[in-house]
Amino acid sequence: MSRLIIWRHGNTDWNAANRVQGQTDVPLNDLGRQQAVDAADMLVRLRPDVIVSSDLRRASDTAAALAALTGVPVRHDDRLRERFFGQWQGLTMAEVKESRFAEWTRWRAGEAAIGGGVESLDDLGKRIAEALQAAADLVPADGTAVVATHGAAARQGVGHLLGWPAEVMRTLRALQNCHWVELTHDSGRGWQVAAYNVGPVSDKPVPPPV
């Protein structure tokens, strides 16, 4: 049975400010770097065979904390980038709501296409699921792959990989920073969820996956 860990990056200043990151290359802050170290201390026990990351710094630097403990090099895949949020990127969610209310309303309703140059959920799910499967294909039948990615990307990619309909995906809560999803796979049952939103204990509120 193989195992796939889908790991959200650590905290950033834009997370803390509730500012839309999307594919803007925002680095980890001090809290995020500590979260990455704490999470890596847990994930190293899974003995990953492969570590793959989004090429955005907040994910890549999160993955590097695990690579430092395991000696496994980080591979980069730009398909693992966060959802492209178009004209929302750089705005706080309050600013989005005020200046782009119709789009914000569609986003809140979970509609697949919301306008403003924001990537559709279908396109996001497809590219992330492809990258997740590619990472899983790098390990042997009993191996473990760890993939460092982003909040919206992780949720949509997992749902797409599992073949879930949109209404089921919306029941998943956002991953906390530096928390992960554990999937297992065997030839008889395919992909199954073994754990969700696992990670270091934190009393911080969950930033939105943007």
Calpha distance 210→18 (Å, rounded):
9
15 annotated binding-site participant? yes
Within 8 A by CB and 6+ apart from 45, the residues are none
12 annotated binding-site participant? yes
Residues recognised as catalytic: 9, 82
Do the Cβ atoms of 56 and 77 come closer than 8 Å?
Answer: no
13 annotated binding-site participant? yes
14 annotated binding-site participant? yes
Residue 114 CB neighbours (<10 A): 23
29 annotated binding-site participant? no
Calpha distance 186→142 (Å, rounded):
9
Calpha distance 78→193 (Å, rounded):
24
9 annotated binding-site participant? yes
Task: Please enumerate, by residue number, every residue annotated as part of a binding site for substrate.
Answer: 8-15, 58
Task: Please enumerate, by residue number, every residue annotated as part of a binding site.
Answer: 8-15, 58
